[in-house]
Structure 1
Amino acid sequence: MASFTPIRAVERAIDVLAALNRAPVCTLDSLHRNTGIPKPTLIRLLETLQGKGLVTRAPQYGAYSLTSGVRQLSSGYHGEPRLVEAAMRPMDELTRKLKWPMALAVPDYDAVVIRYSTIPSSPLSLLHSSINMRLSLMTRALGRVYLAACTAQEGRALLDILKLSDDPENALAGQTRTVQAMLREIRTQGYALRVPGVRPVSNTLAVPVFEGRRAVASIGLTWIASAVTEEQAVKRFLPPMQEMALRIKERLAAL
């Protein structure tokens, strides 16, 4: 038992950091729901943490995330917030230029999960949000390009997991020759598209994100299929996306 009454402000600050650690990008509403802290108090805490270099804010849609400054807190900082910090600005800038929404996805067991999205700053998005959306490694562009770019050992392990899946989108995993041909093609061309027939109202072009020589994430740009053909999308979007992925790699190294 403590010999004194705990300092409530410190407890709340730790609660906020813990909530941001669990969900790399949080709105004020989600922080209020997850911590139970009143919004006026949350704003004061967040501004204090910003002043200490531990939290950053994307003002265009009121989202908060951890910064690399939390490395001083050791285990409070891990790969996903670091990826979001490195990718946020390049993704926002490219979305403002191209208008179509983009998403950053990271591997999570048998899928990739979207951890950052520029939907709030895109006038052309079909969705209100895609944060925490899980996407198949077999059919979705963000998943396919990551599977093609990861190490051979990781790829074999992921395919073994997918072969046990009962998700219809992972059915292809059992067709070894077909999968290997698909992955070779993606590696050769440097990008992946969504498999035809999966949510045909739109399509996504995705490229891998590397830290050093290791694939750590993927980034995809989604467009309305009736407005842009696949050929037009590759011609217009692939070069700036590859340039952005290289910039994110450099930002990761700088962190």
Structure 2
Amino acid sequence: MLERKVKTVRALERGLDVLIEVQARRAVSLHELHQALKLPKATLLRMLLTLGRKGLVWQRLADGAYLPHLGAAARGTGSAVEHIAEIASPYMKALSTKVAWPSVLGVPRLDHMEILETNSPLFRLDSAILGPVGVKLSYIHTATGRAYLSACDEQEREAIIARLRPKDAAPGSEDDLRAILKETRERGYALREPLHPWPDRSKQLVLRDGRRSMAVAIMAAGAPIATINLTWPAKRGTDEMVMHRHLEALQQTAQAIGRAVASQSASAPIAGNAV
């Protein structure tokens, strides 16, 4: 029997090459794909758009990088927090059309919060550039950190406070921190104020950057998995004015992200939390 010669589909081969490259690098820019695959950027953009519509890749708002979609198997590994960013990204993009100021998505680590995503590049604001991905934020001195610390359960909160407590903590300073967290929990959102004396990371930046911020926890299955904030220059609006205009939209975004994470990740561990 003569073996039939069957031609391969070149366009499909190229699309698979793009997908394999994104999967191998975990996060890759359009320029890096262009250099690696020697394909025109316009061609790559069409392929990435197609792969995105098929749920195989997604584009991070923070830096425009392309990342592989995390399936259920991957979400059961240490990549679970990346899945939160993937789910949150379109909601944060939608938020940017409703609210005048940028946001970051933060997740808990042992002694800090870490930025996973930000919609800051969607705003042309030199006065409110946030990020980049990977920046470490204070639990104590940022609204992002306070929102998580006030929402987590007592055991986790005590473990975090123990890690942050300085050896020479001033008398009464821990009680002040607990009072701040209690007030935050009761009102349902966090602010940078009042200031706290513990010399945790981000304190000096918060004191001098001229910004204000509020944040809320993202809840899934009754527990916080991340927080989302809103940051603006202090000279452009008081806390009361910005909260009156935008707190509801921020809370609704957090709730929508939480519901999406819970529904898509019900069978997998979600967050690498702080305990």
TM-score range, shorter chain: 0.7 to 0.9
Q: What corresponds to 2:109 in structure 1?
A: 108
Farther-moved stretch of structure 1 (84-93 vs 206-215): 84-93
Equivalent residue for 2:247, pick from 221, 238, 242: 238
The gaps in structure 1 that reach 5 residues or longer are: 1-8
Same amino acid, percent of matched pairs: 31
1:212 shift after superposition: 1.3
1:62 corresponds to: 64
Distance across 2 between alignment mates of 1:87 and 1:216: 12
Q: Aligned pairs, how many?
A: 235
Partner of 1:157: 159
Residue 3 (structure 1) aligns with: none
The 2-side partners of 1:207 and 1:12 are apart by: 37
Instruction: Give the match for residue 16 of structure 1.
Output: 22
Q: Deviations over 1:80-107 (max 9, x none)?
A: 1221122111211111221211110001
Match of 1:189 in 2: 187
Residues 82, 177 of structure 1: alpha-carbon distance in 2 compared, 3 angstrom cutoff: same
Taking the aligned partners of 2:98 and 2:58, their CA distance within structure 1 comes to 23
Structure 2: gaps of 5 or more residues: 1-14, 196-205, 265-275
Aligned-partner residue type, residue 230 of structure 1: D
RMSD: 3.5
- Write 1 or 2 for the structure with the bigger share of helix: 1
Q: Note the 1:136-147 alignment, pairs <5 A.
A: 136-147=138-149
TM-score norm. by structure 1 comes to 0.77
TM-score normalised per structure 2: 0.72
**Between Structure 1 and Structure 2, which shows a larger proportion of strand residues?**
1
Q: 1:79 to 1:183 in 2, by over 3 A?
A: same
Going from structure 1 to structure 2, the CA distance change for 1:73 and 1:214 (only over 3 Å counts) comes to closer
CA deviations 1:56-94 (Å, max 9, x no partner) are 2368963323334x3245666732122112211121111
**1:188-212 CA distance string (max 9 Å, x none):** 1111112456235111110000111
Note the alpha carbon deviations across 1:161-190, whole angstroms, 9 max, x for none.
Answer: 112589xxxx78982211110110000111
Give the Å deviation of 1:109. Answer: 1.4
Q: CA 1:89–1:74 in 2, change beyond 3 Å: closer, same or farther?
A: closer
Aligned to 2:88: 87
- Partners of 1:173 and 1:47 lie apart in 2 by 57
- From the CA coordinates, give the structure whose radius of gyration is larger: 2
Counterpart Cα distance in 2 of 1:11 and 1:76: 25
